[in-house]
Structure formats: structure tokens, C-alpha cells
Amino acid sequence: MKRMFLVALLATTLTQAKAQDYTVTTGGIVTEVKFYSPDIVRVTKYQKADALSKTDPKVVVTMKPQKVNPTKREGAKEDTLLTGKVMVTCNKQTGVLGFFRPDGTVLIKERTKPTFTKRTTHTIDPYNVSQSFRLSTGEAIYGLGQVQDGTLNHRNKNYNHMVQNNMSVWIPFIHSTRGYGLYWDLYGPCDFSDDATNGATFKTEAAHAVDYYVLVGAAERGDEVQQLVRQLSGQATMVPLWTFGYFQSKERYKSATETLGVLQKYRSQKVPIDCVVQDWQYWGGNNQWNAMEFLNPEFKTTYPQMINGMHADGAHLLISIWANFGRDTKQFAHFKEKNQLMKMGNDIMSSTWPNNEGVGIYCPYQQSARKYYWQCLYEGLVNKGVDAYWVDSSEPDHYQSGEDWEKTSDFIVLNKDDEDNATLNPYSLETTHTWTESS
């Protein structure tokens, strides 16, 4: 079958040329194919009439396209783009794409054209967009983040309204046993489904364009696809050697003396330990939530002995920090003045942990907010000798709801100065930029 496919392909070849990018417009939908490397292909599809088609925010992919110049073969009905790692075909009448190895082995194919459903009755008002794919018989797909249902292979599964929450991390990426990965680069609430009738489908709410990447590795070496993921989105940081040791944590230690005493007890029992975790309320009451300072009287004057004692005894201290701030903290006052607290409509979103305490969630979508967060963290904890940080509530936790759900659970209404997006899913990435930009 592979040999017959290649013969038919070459027989329809009209020209051969080199081109970094490929674009075709069919039925008012523009399909763009861009090679980021010989084994990473980006696909975007949008409506030609949509003036905002290129405005969807992009914060995950950090890779810049390499100069690839795939070979282009133009046929009467189908065009082909070929590198040493992947072959992409495009039906010139429909814009439907197929992805193959250079020898013709099928990786994944689009099933149909994308869909764009206008959202006319909602606060956030672009489109719901979707793209369906044909998978192969016997193919398994892994990924999608930390899915809390015990499932490893996501074939014939359906997941609706995938958004970050307290115990689920959704990453719209699948890794196939056929040796490819597919990353869906959109940030609104996402549905994923796979069935025999409709194929595997990604659908995202509140977007203007389909945007995904196909990463091609070897079927027998899954690490190759993971290497391409890191190439696409940034290298993973290697953690210090001590973090591979034993951590002791509970909800919670109530004084600096108690925290240090835990380490001393382990040492006296000759039980190996590398880190003790200090969880919440070292800052004091809920009005001072996440002040990122030792304001609790049980820590205020004795925290130096705790930290120095840990280090002197060959251990480390990890401390929890959050994305929200109590009403009496300097951070709350600063972010409120700068209009950098997340909102429900025109009101500050205050229904977050701890509930009914007037706590506000800061907005990491603005670089100035991230810089101020880091300044407070450095002055209050880093500079005091704390070794590591448990970045809690990075979803962030939020409970507010209402008739206009887009203002609450899944879409956060931000102000016009925000640099990225009003959707929730990239929140944890954006708040993480606080460290990568500043430390």
C-alpha cells in the first residue's frame, strides 16, 4: 500500500519547488502550514472574512521557526510538502490536511474542514472553533494533562469543558503510539472527544482560529516527541539534587519552633530527610493572606532560627505562596490601585480561598503585576533564606458563578491593558513567568 500511494502521488506531480510556508484558501477558510523544523509543523485555519483572525493570544510556544524549505509538489487535486521527517498533503478543494512519514506511513489526518460557530449571545464574542482528525485502528493516545479518572489511553473518551481547577491540570496535547504528538494551541475552555463516527475532535470556546502543531518522532522511541515538546515550548528546568530526597509536610505547622522541631525529630531518629514544608498562615490571619512575610507572632521573631537551623542541619525549607492576597496586605492595596485584581464584571472577584474573606486574585497577564509580585516575594521570603516555593492556587482557586458564566468560572474579565488573554487556562503559566523573568 505504501508503494502504490507514492506512485500515485508522483504521477500527479506538476512542479517541485522550495517554500517555507504554504497557504491555500477554500470556501472562505484560509489554511496555513508553517514548518518550525523538519519534524514540527504548525497549522492555522481561519475565516478569510474575519478581521480578527490573527488576534488569538499566544504565550506557550517559545520556539522560532527554523529555515526548513520543504519540497513542494503541486498536483491537480492535492499539494504535498516534504521534509526528511514528515510529508504533509493538502486537498486543494477542501483544505483538508494529512500527515505522513516520508515513506507514506500514515500519522494522522484531518477528517473534515474546521468549524466556526459564531457566539452572538455572550460577553466574549468570537467563535467556538473545532477540528476533527482521523486516527488509526489500534492507535493509542496519551496526554491531555493530569486527568483524574484513572484513564491512560484516551481513545473513545470524551472530556467536556476542560479548564484548570484544584486537582485537574488540562493540557491540550496528545501523544500517539504511532510516534507523533499534537498540541492544540488555544486557551479557552476545551472539549476533546474520540469516537468511531466523528473521529478525534478538539473544540475550543472563544477563539478566532484553529491553531495546532504536529510533532513527528519515532514510533518506537517516545522520548523523541517529548524532546520536540521541549524544543517547542522551552526546556524543562533541572531541579536541585536535594529535591529528589524526602519531604515532610502536613496541614500545617503552627510555629517556627514546631517546624524546626520536625527536622530535629527526624535527625534524632536517624531517618533521612531533605526538606520540611511550611504551609499557610505563617503570615497571620486571613486578612493578611499570602502577605509573603512572617507576620504571624509565632514566626515573626523566630523565623531566622528556623531557617538557619534547617541549613545548619543539612536540610531545606519549602514554603507555600499563593496567587491571591488578603484585604489588608500591601499587595492587595497595590493591585487594586493598579486595576490588577481579577474581576467578575466590574467587581473584584473575591470568592476564592479562603472564601468570604475579601481575598483578591492578582492578574499575572500584565508584566508590571508580575514584577511587583516578585519584588514582594524576594523582599519577604527569598532574601530571608527560604530555599523553595510551593506555588499554590495557581489555577487559581475561584468559586464565583452567575447567569453570565463567562464572567466567572472559566473566563475572567480583564481590562483593556491586559497583554494576553481573558481566558483562564494560561493563568498558571503566566504567574510562573514571575520567576522565569525575574530570578
Domain ranges of the chain: 2-233, 241-438
Question: Buried b vs exposed e over 21-30: b needs ≥16 C-beta within 10 Å?
Answer: ebebebeebb
Q: Residue 226 pLDDT more than 80? A: yes
Question: Would you say domain 2-233 falls under CATH 2.60.40.1760?
Answer: yes
Residue with cell 474542514: 113
CA dist 355 and 313 (Å) reads 38
Task: Select from 411, 425, 436, 431 the least CA-distant residue to 184.
Answer: 425
Is residue 211 within 8 Å of 185, Cβ to Cβ?
yes
Q: Is the per-residue pLDDT at 24 higher than 60? A: yes
> What 3-state class would DSSP assign to 304?
helix
Q: Which three cell numbers stand for residue 252?
A: 500545617
Bridge-based pairing state of the strands 316-321 and 275-278: parallel
Provide the 3-class DSSP secondary structure of residue 397.
coil
Instruction: Tell whether the model's pLDDT for residue 413 goes beyond 50.
Output: no
DSSP helix/strand/coil, 246:
coil
**Nearest to residue 324, comparing CAs of 422, 420, 399?**
399
**Helix or strand run (H / E) with residue 159:** strand 158-162
Q: What is the pLDDT of residue 37?
A: 97
Using one digit for the tens of pLDDT, what is the confidence trace for 124-164? 668 889 999 999 999 999 999 988 888 999 999 999 878 77
Model confidence at 181: pLDDT above 50: yes
- pLDDT for residue 344: 67
Element (DSSP H or E) covering residue 15: strand 15-18
Residue 362 DSSP code: B
Summarised one tens digit per residue, pLDDT across range 305-348 is 999 999 999 999 999 999 999 999 999 999 999 989 887 667 78
| Res 175 pLDDT > 70 | yes
pTM of the model: 0.88
The band of 1, judged by pLDDT with boundaries at 50, 70 and 90, is very low
Per CATH, the homologous superfamily of domain 241-438 is Glycosidases (3.20.20.80)
